[in-house]
Amino acid sequence: MYNYAGKRAIVTGAAHGIGKAIAMRLAGEGCAVSLWDVNQAALQSTLAELNQGGGHHSQVVDVSDLDAVKAASIATTKAWGAVPDVLVNNAGIGRLASILDVTPADFDRTMEVNVRGTFNCCHVLVPAMRDAGGGNIVNMASWFGKSGRPNSLAYCASKFAIIGMTQSMAIDLAAHGIRVNAVCPGTIDNTEMRKQADETAAALGLPSAAERQHLIPLQRLGQPDDIARAVAFLISDEASYMTGQSINVTGGLWMN
């Protein structure tokens, strides 16, 4: 356990799945959390699950929309009376498709949410974090950001880009006291993305994630909290000499 009392974290894509687990964990360790997501109903439900009185709030925001991110940043900073110490760029989408069947619109949307969304949040919030003396950024990549995978052209491109952005920002921001790392989840269960991927796999006659878990050295699918624990570590002082890293949390599925 870490003590994050007095810290403030923005978590994007916090209404469901991995982002929700990150928000719950950070809040459980005393951090005030601002939940950002496009899904208003799920956002309200997640906010209601956090302990009350912890300085938590939510913003309905599409991270691919720069003006919306600016507005959410202003509202969040006003609510806290201070800038965030932590930014977790977790919001993401993924659609299974190869170069033979991905549509230009799907390619663009994947890049807009995953890459441009990460850029937008950093572009808007990093200057304030720098002026406040430092902070921590964690970007949600994937093992698909380290190796090309089948039927994942746009998603792989977006996650490789996130690892590149993580490394570039880590160098540029080190002198400003801002550490930037990424987490690369493997096959994580109990998320909306996993449900959608399993549905698409079934339609293509491919095995589900559960049917492929024997391929994972630790012999189980990951859970959102496996990722949340890695994020909690990366933003802690225990990781104070780590920046620019892209940490696999894959049960051994990917090791490079």
Ligand X SMILES: NC(=O)c1ccc[n+]([C@@H]2O[C@H](COP(=O)([O-])OP(=O)(O)OC[C@H]3O[C@@H](n4cnc5c(N)ncnc54)[C@H](O)[C@@H]3O)[C@@H](O)[C@H]2O)c1
Residues near ligand X, by CB under 6 A:
12-13, 15-19, 37-39, 62-64, 90-94, 113, 117, 140, 142, 185, 187-188, 191-194
Closest to ligand X by CB, 167 vs 196, is 196
Closest to ligand X by CB, 17 vs 55, is 17
Q: In what order do the strands lie in the sheet with 246-249?
A: 57-60, 32-37, 8-12, 86-89, 135-140, 178-185, 246-249
- Is 2 part of the annotated catalytic residue set? no
Closest approach of ligand X to the CB of residue 244, in Å = 19
Closest approach of ligand X to the CB of residue 35, in Å = 9
Query: Could you say which of 2, 4, 155, 241 is catalytic?
Result: 155
Closest approach of ligand X to the CB of residue 37, in Å = 4
Closest to ligand X by CB, 74 vs 131, is 74
Closest to ligand X by CB, 131 vs 211, is 211
Closest approach of ligand X to the CB of residue 185, in Å = 4
The catalytic residue positions are: 155
